[in-house]
Every structure is written in C-alpha cells, then in structure tokens.
A = this chain, B = another copy of it.
Amino acid sequence: MARPERRPFGSRGRLVLGMAATAFSLKLGLQKGVPRGRRCMAIGAEGPLSPTVEGLLRRVRRCNNAATSLGQTRPFLVQGSTDLGMVLPEAASELARFPEVFRVTDDAVELIAGGDSVEARTLAVAGIFDRLREEARIPMLKGWRDEAWSVKPSFHSEAALVVERAAGPLLGVRAFGCHINGLVSEGGKDRLWVARRAATKQTYPSKLDHMVAGGLSHGEQPTENVIRECWEEARIPPEMSKAARSTGIISYCMVDPTGWGINKDAIFCYDLELDPAFRPVAGDGEVESFDLWDMKDVVDSLIAENDDWKPNVALVIIDMLIRRGHLAPEEAGYGRLARAVRQ
C-alpha cells in the first residue's frame, strides 16, 4: 500500500510525510461499540488534559455533581408545566404529608392548591414551608432569609409560583444570580478582587468569593441587581458599577449542601474594571475582607486540591480566564473545559 515517493500535500500543509511515521504514535481507542442516535460533538469529549485544565475541570465537576441524583428526582409540576423543578425522594416524602397542597406520585410532585392564582399557590406553599420549618425536619429551611424567588421555566418566563429562597432547592427550581469579576487591568495584566465571606454567613462561611455576587429576587433584573449588590456588599457607588459589562451566563446542577435538594442555578456574569486606586469596602457584613490577587495566584489556588472557594465562584472565574485570554488554546483540554463551564 505504501508509496514512499508520493507526497500528497503541497507547500502549505505543514506535514512532512517522511517524518510522520516516527513523529506520530496513534493512541488506540478502546471503545469498539458503535453508538446509535449520534450527537455532534465538534469539540472532542476525550483527549489529553493539561494539569491546569484537569484542576479547573475538578472545580466544574464539583458544581455538577447531581448527575446520579437526577435520575431519582421527580419533576415538580404546576398546572401541567413540567419544566419547573425536580424533587429528590426524601423531599417528596415530606411534601406527600400535605396532600391538599401537593399530589405526590411515583412520576411527579404536583402543586394542586391555588388553582390558576399565582398568589393563592404561593400562599399555600408558604404555609407548608412554614410548618416544615417549625418542625425543624429539613435542615435546608434553617437558611430562611425572607427573600422571594420566582419559580419559572426560564428567566424571561412569567412566574408560576413564588417561594422563599431557602426552600427553592427543595423543589429543585431554577435560581438566578449575578456574579461580578472585580478587575484591575494595568499594562495588559489583570488582577482580581477576591472577597472572603464572613464567618457568620449561613452558607459557605469564610470561603473565598467574588467581590460582589447575589441572587436575583422575584421581579429583579440583572443590571439593577448588580448596581444594588455593588453598593450593599462592596460600597461601589452606582456611577462606578454602571460600567459593569455583562459577559454571558453560566449554569450548573449541584446537590444542595444539605443533601435535600438540587441547586439548578444560572449566573449572569459581569466584569467590572476598577481604578487601581479604588478599594472595595465590606458594606453589609457579608464579607470579612477584600484582597487584590494576581491572576496567576487565582489559577494556582483553583487548581490546587483545597476547599477554599465557594464552589460556583470557580465556574465564573474559569469563564473569565477563558474570555480574557488567561488560558491559552494550546492548553491541552481547552475546548473540553470551555464546553464544560458553559454547559
């Protein structure tokens, strides 16, 4: 078969065929099976990974640890709409205690109280969560914050129901938030403001966090949330925060830290470039301190096997590292990481 004198490619191709046989060594695939119902994966799912990509993918996996749990969930239905939430078995058992409000079957958890009225549904569900909270049976409900979250199939859909923030993951409903990369750019070099959460926070106390981040309350728009949270959390005045630039959205599906629910979160990401002379100041007691980190130190900390970071913060930072050229495409596994963080 071999015709060694033949050179099928011209001057533009970089391959010198005579070198090919020694320069290449074919990595043999192990899978012999032929998949049916194929999907296009233009970025190969397999292939080598650099240590940096491997470390960052570990952070992505930590936020997407719900895969095995998802098969056990039942969809949360309101008026026949299937795409509102997903309920784990233990949570479904608790909700089944209130058959006048929830119809719990092997196939679904359906809200039956309140009929067509969003207000009546909301009150009915709030009554059940109040009772469960008084009984102290579900640890997740300790995190009660008096914050209203919309239950809706996508961000721009109308709400089917409004629930307290702490109860959202029990129904596995979508949650939306905003995270702001606070950046200082000088001479083509980026640094990142990193916050340490207060030791008294209900969730992830003392972990590293974004300069500013917050959940979207019912009816709140991302841009107004950014301006409000910039002032509340870091004393960044509106005339500065309005320069924040939206950069995309990341999402993940994580088992709630209490084990009782699913965090199905989407985060609107922003970059805010700040003057080197500006220092954020903890505003509302949620942050212990702010520090300006070199990007290399951020990457080194993220790829280390530590428990220093609030998990979802890593996803937003990885997206930023990709967008701003802090990860080179030459890094083995670059495409797989980019795909994973934006899934």
A interface vs B, CB < 8 Å?
A: 1-3, 6, 8-15, 17-18, 20-21, 24-35, 37-48, 64, 66-67, 70-71, 73-75, 78-83, 86, 100, 107-108, 113-114, 116-120, 122-124, 126-127, 130, 145-148, 152-160, 162, 164, 174, 188, 217-223, 243, 245-249, 251-253, 262, 264-266, 268, 322-325, 327-330, 332-336, 338-339, 342
Chain copies in the assembly? 2
B residues less than 8 Å from A108 (CB atoms): 34
Q: Could you tell me if B335 and A44 are in contact, using CB atoms closer than 8 angstroms?
A: no
Contacts A13-B147, A119-B17 given; indicate if A29 touches B249 (C-beta within 8 A).
no
Considering residues A3, A9, A160, which has the most beta carbons from chain B within 10 angstroms of its beta carbon? A9
Q: Could you tell me if A1 and B123 are in contact, using CB atoms closer than 8 angstroms?
A: yes
Q: Could you tell me if A15 and B174 are in contact, using CB atoms closer than 8 angstroms?
A: no
Q: A221's closest neighbor in chain B, by CB?
A: B330
Q: A29-B79, A29-B153, A34-B74 are in contact. List 14 more A-B contacts (CB 8 A).
A: A1-B100, A2-B114, A9-B162, A12-B146, A21-B117, A25-B158, A26-B78, A29-B80, A43-B249, A45-B154, A222-B329, A249-B334, A338-B342, A339-B342
Q: A161's closest neighbor in chain B, by CB?
A: B26
B residues less than 8 Å from A153 (CB atoms): 29, 44, 46-47
Closest 6 CB pairs of A and B: A44-B154, A40-B253, A47-B154, A29-B81, A10-B146, A13-B148
Q: Whole-angstrom distance between the alpha carbons of A2 and B145 in the complex?
A: 23
Shortest CB-to-CB span from A60 to chain B, Å, is 13
B residues less than 8 Å from A155 (CB atoms): 43-44, 47, 329, 334-335
Shortest CB-to-CB span from A187 to chain B, Å, is 12
Q: A252's closest neighbor in chain B, by CB?
A: B42
B residues less than 8 Å from A71 (CB atoms): 37-38
Q: Could you tell me if B26 and A123 are in contact, using CB atoms closer than 8 angstroms?
A: no
Q: Whole-angstrom distance between the alpha carbons of A325 and B330 in the complex?
A: 26
